[in-house]
Amino acid sequence: MIEFHLDERSGLSPYLQLVRQVRQAMRLGLLREGDQLPTVKDVVARLAINPNTVLKAYRELEHEGLVAARPGVGTFVSATLTDGSLAAHGPLRQELRRWLAKARRAGLDEESIEALFLTTFRTSAGEEIA
Amino acid sequence: MTAVLQARGLGKRYGRHWALSDCTLDIPAGHVVGLVGPNGAGKTTLLNLASGHLTPTTGEITVLGGRPGTDPNQLRKVGFVAQDTPTYAGFTVAEHLRLGARLNPGWDDATARDRIARLGLDPGQRAGTLSGGQRAQLALTIGIAKRPELLILDEPVAALDPLARREFMQGLLEAAVEHELSVVLSSHLVSDLERACDYLVVLVDSRVQVAGEVEELLATHHRLAGPRRDPDQLPRDQRVVSASHTDRQSTFIVRTDSAIHDPVWTVSQLSLEDLVLTYLDSSTRVAPRPVLEVQR
Amino acid sequence: MIWLTWRQFRIPAITLFALVVAFAVLLAMTGPGIAAEYADGIAACAQQGTDCGPFVNNFLNDYQTASLGVSAVALVMPALIGLFWGAPLVSRELEVGTHRLVWNQSITRTRWLVVKMTITGLAAVVVGAVGAVAVTWWASTIDNVPDNEFNRLASWVFDGRGVVPIGYSAFAFALGVTVGMLLRRALPAMAVTLAVFVVVQFAMPLLVRPYLLPPTDATVEITESTVDTFGHNMQNGRSTVLVEGQAPEEGAWLLSARTVDSSGNPVEAITLPESSTACTPGQSATPEPGAGMKTCLAELTRLGYRHELTYHPASRFWPFQWIETGIYLALSLALAGFCFWWLRHRLA
C-alpha cells in the first residue's frame, strides 16, 4: 500500500499528482502487480480532497491499463512498469554520480548543473519525438 | 441525475437592501460544491434559503426537488451545519447525539458514535467546554449521522485553526464518499475549497458571477497577454471576464470553449484562486455582453 | 422533541417547582394552627358570652401581615414563570444560535414550538394551580374573618385566590415567550416581560376588573352603621361635616361612595345651615359617648342627605374569578397564536 501526498506548489492538478505518484511507485517497485491501491475513502480522508479527483485519477490509471477495479473490493495494480529496467537503475545511478562529481570539479554550482541537465534532457527528449 | 439545488430568479431583500438578487443556479447532484465570495456577498443568505431558514422575496428555489424546510420529509433529506456551528453549551456530547437520535427518524447512531470515538471526544464532556474545532466536528457529526442526501455547511472552517480545518475537511469528505452525500459549503477563502470542491459558485455583491464544474472552469478560462487592444475586438466566442491595460499592453481573462489561435497573445492557464479573484475584483471585471450568453 | 424540551427546561422547572412545593409545605404546616387558633378564640368568647371583637382584632393584627405576605408570593409566582420560563424559552435559542441547530433536524419549526410551548405552558398552569390552591386553602380562615378590611374582593387578595393565578401564570408565560421572540435576547426579554406584566397586573384591578360586571348602585341613609369615616369642622360658626359611606354588606367591593343632597346632587362636604346646631360640639350635653355624632347624623338625614354607593357584592367573587381567568387564558392563546405567526412569517 502506498500513501499519497499533494504538493500545492507543483503546479500540477491534484488528479495528475495522484496518477504520477502511482506510476512512480510502480516504476520504483513500491507497487507490484496485485497490490491494492488505497480506497477512495482513505485517500479522501487523508488528503481532504474531492472524491471525484481520486476517482478520476483511478479511472485514468485504469484507462492506461495499469490498475483494475474490482467492484466492492478495491482497485488493484494489474500491470508492471519496472520490466527489466529496474536492474539497470544501479549502474546508471553510479554513472550519474560520477558525472555530477565531474561537473562540480569543472566549477558548476547546483543551479547550473540543474539547468544543464534539464536543457539537455529536454533537447534529447525533443529529438526523440521528432 | 436530479439537481440538488435549483434557483430561478431567486432574491432576498431586507428592507431596502438586497442580500441576494436574481440568482439562477442549477447544481447537479454528486458534487462537493464550493460557494465562494467575500463576506457579505450573500452566501449565508443563499444557504439559509436553501435550508429553509429564510423564505425568498422573489423567485423560487428547490432543493432535491422540494421546497426547502417545509415538511419533515424535506428536512430529513437536507442537513445543515450553520455558521459558527452552534451547539447547546450545557449539553454533553452524548446528549447532542441523543438530540439527533430523537429528532431524526433516519439517525445513524453507529456512525455518530464511531465518529465521536475516532475524534477522541469524551461523550460526557459539555459542548461549552469543547474547542472550536471539536465543536465544529460535533456539529458535523450530527449533520452526517442524520444521513441526509445533501449536506449544507455555512463557513464551517472560518473560525478554525489550520489543523482543525484540515481535520474537519477530512471528516466531511470522508463522509461524502461513504454516504454518497452531495455537499455544498461556503467560504470566503478559495484555499479552503480548492482541493475539496469540484463545483464552484462565485457570489459577489449579492449576485452569482460564475458557476460550474471546477475542471470545466479551469479549462475554459485563459489569460491573454499581448499588445493593447479593445475588448470588443476579441472574437465573439471569447467572453471577456476581466481586462486591464497599460499604455502598450492588454491583459484579458477570457472564457471560451474553443482554442485561441491568434498568435499575438501569450496564453496561460489560471489557477483556481486566480480565476476566483478575477471574478471578485470589481475594478477589472467586465460586465457580460448579454448576446454572448445565448451561445453557451 | 419532548426529551429535548425537558432537557433544556429541567433546571428552571425543578427550581421553581421546588420553590412552590416548599411554599406549599410551609402553608400546609402553618394553616391548621391558624384555623385552630381562630376557632378556639371564637369558641372561648362565645362561651364566656363576651364580645369577640377584641379577639378578632388581635387575631387580624397577628396574621394580617403574614396573609398579605402570602398573597404577595402568590402574585410574584406568575411573574417568575414569565421571567424564567417564558422569556428565555425562545430568546435564548435565538441569542446563542442554537435554533439553527435544532431547526435543521427532521422536525418542523412549528412542531418545535408547539412541543416547547405546550410542555412549559402546562407546567406553568400546574404551578399556578398548586400555588392558588395552597394559598386559598391557607388563607380561608383569615379571608372569612368578619370585618377584615382585606376581603376576598380586595385587589391583593383576589389576585392570589381561586383560579385567577392559573390565568396569570399562563399569561405571564405566553407574554415571556412572545417578548423573547420579538427581542431575540434573553435578558432584555426578561426585563420587558417583567415590566409589561407588572403594568398589566396594576391595570387589571384598577381599570378593567370593576367594569367586568355592572356594579350595584345603592342609596342608603346616613346612620352610624353606614358611615365609615366622619369628620367635622367649624367655620364662621357654621358646621361643616364630612361623611364617607361604607359598603352596605360584608365583604363587598366598594367602588365609590358619594354623599348627595336632597335633590340628588353630589356634595363634597356638608355645610349645615346656621340655624342647625345639631352638629356643633358641646351643644348636646349628653353623657353617652358618640351621642353627638348620632344626633348630627340624624340631622343630616333630616336635611335629606344620603349615601350613594356603587359596589360589587361579595357574592361576585367567583364570577369575577372565572371571567378574569377566561380573559387571561384568551390573552395567552392570542399571544401563543402570534408567536406561531411570527415564527412562520418574520423569523424566516
C107 and C126 assigned to the same domain: yes
Element (H, E) at C285: none
pLDDT value for C31: 87
C239 and C143 assigned to the same domain: no
Q: Is residue C347 part of a domain?
A: no
C299 and C193 assigned to the same domain: no
pLDDT value for C63: 82
Q: Is residue C158 part of a domain?
A: yes
C139 and C181 assigned to the same domain: yes
**Is B98 an interface residue toward C (CB < 8 Å)?**
yes
- DSSP letter at B126 equals B
Q: Is the dihedral of CA C337, C338, C342, C343 positive or negative?
A: negative
- Residue B271, min C-alpha distance to chain C (Å): 35
C112 and C193 assigned to the same domain: yes
pLDDT value for C314: 85
Region class of C100: left (phi > 0), else alpha (psi between -120 and 50), else beta: alpha
C195 and C250 assigned to the same domain: no
pLDDT per position as a tens digit, A77-98: 888 876 666 677 788 889 999 9
**Is A12 an interface residue toward B (CB < 8 Å)?**
no
- DSSP letter at B92 equals B
Q: Is residue C292 part of a domain?
A: yes
- Residue A21, min C-alpha distance to chain B (Å): 17
C206 and C220 assigned to the same domain: no
> Could you give the C-alpha distances from C276 to C79, C132, C266, C279, C295, in angstroms and in order?
57, 55, 21, 7, 11
Packing angle of the helix pair A40-47, A51-63 (nearest 10 deg): 130
pLDDT in tens, chain C (348 residues): 888 888 888 888 899 899 999 999 999 888 888 888 888 888 888 788 777 777 888 888 888 888 888 888 888 999 999 999 999 999 999 999 899 899 889 988 899 999 999 999 999 999 999 989 998 888 888 877 776 677 788 777 888 888 999 999 999 999 999 999 999 999 999 999 999 999 999 999 888 888 888 988 888 878 777 777 777 777 776 777 777 777 777 778 888 888 887 777 887 777 777 777 667 666 544 445 556 777 777 777 887 888 888 888 888 889 999 999 999 999 999 999 999 999 988 775
* Whole-structure pTM value: 0.81
pLDDT value for C287: 46
Q: Is residue C231 part of a domain?
A: yes
Mutate to test the interface with C, among B63, B84, B103 (most CBs of C within 10 A): B103
Contact C161, C195 (CB under 8 A): no
Q: Is residue C176 part of a domain?
A: yes
Q: Which three cell numbers stand for residue C177?
A: 415567550
Interatomic CA distance for residues C67 and C57, integer angstroms: 14
Number of domain units in chain C? 2
Q: Is residue C345 part of a domain?
A: no
Q: Is residue C341 part of a domain?
A: no
Pick from C211, C236, C264: which residue ends a domain? C211
pLDDT per position as a tens digit, C270-292: 777 777 766 766 654 444 555 67
Range of the domain at C275: 216-314
C186 and C239 assigned to the same domain: no
pLDDT class for B295, splitting at 50, 70, 90? very low
List, in order of start, the domains of chain B with CATH numbers.
3-205 (3.40.50.300), 215-293 (no CATH)
C contact set with B (CB within 8 A): 1, 3-4, 7-8, 96-98, 100-109, 111, 348
Q: Of B33 and C305, which is predicted with more confidence? A: B33
C281 and C136 assigned to the same domain: no
Say which of B51, B88, B103 has its CB closest to residue C106: B103
Q: Which fold has domain A8-77?
A: Arc Repressor Mutant, subunit A (1.10.10)
Q: Is residue C325 part of a domain?
A: no
C132 and C184 assigned to the same domain: yes
CA C7 to mean position of chain CA atoms: 35
Task: Parse chain A into domains and list their residue ranges.
Answer: 8-77, 85-129
Please compute the mean of the pLDDT values over residues B92-103 and round it to a whole number. 93
C196 and C287 assigned to the same domain: no
C197 and C232 assigned to the same domain: no
